Amino acid sequence: MLYPELDFAQPQSRTDSGVLIRDLIFYNNTSWPLLKEIFEKFNSRQLVFELKNVDELNTTHINQLNRYLNNEFGSFGVIFTRNQPPKNVFKNTIDLWSGQRKCLIILDDTDLESMCQVYEDKQRKPIDVINKKYREFIRACPS
């Protein structure tokens, strides 16, 4: 659904030690304005996506994605989860922005449904839903 904007996905990528497992990693080819901005602002040559099939996202999930973001992957990551995050979890992402300038976007099932809808309608690109969530996140962050 995100092809061709995001391509060359590598599922279940492990670190050399085998301790960290990232669900999906996409190569950032900067072919879309959002991807170019992510590359320039967050030095994200690759994009880490975490898939959390849980009823409620918690700060442990956010901190896990935060640990994956480093010089190789940059400071931008995405979590897909079942439901909207609790306020304290969203606040945790804002705190990471404030302290480390890391951008962690949370998408839930309603966002995935929107992505499917725009894909089927062919009016927009599914990556526009990620762009919308990114813009909402940036507006919520202190400058």
pLDDT > 90? residue 8: no
Give the per-residue pLDDT at 44: 96
Task: Summarize the confidence of residues 57-84 as an average pLDDT.
Answer: 95
Task: Summarize the confidence of residues 50-54 as an average pLDDT.
Answer: 93
pLDDT tens for each residue of 20-34 = 555 889 999 999 999
CA distances from 24 to 7, 11, 36, 87, 98 (A): 11, 5, 19, 26, 26
Domain boundaries, the chain: 7-140
* SS3 track for the chain: CCCCCCEEEEEEEECCCCCCEEEEEEECCCCCHHHHHHHHHHCCCEEEEEEECCCCCCHHHHHHHHHHCCCCCCCEEEEEECCCCCHHHHHHHHHHHHHHCCEEEEECHHHHHHHHHHHHHCCCCCHHHHHHHHHHHHHHCCC
Give the per-residue pLDDT at 19: 46
Give the per-residue pLDDT at 12: 60
Please provide the average confidence, as pLDDT, over all residues in the chain: 90
Give the per-residue pLDDT at 143: 80
pLDDT tens for each residue of 76-117 = 999 999 999 999 999 999 999 999 999 999 999 999 999 999
Q: What pTM value is reported for the model?
A: 0.88
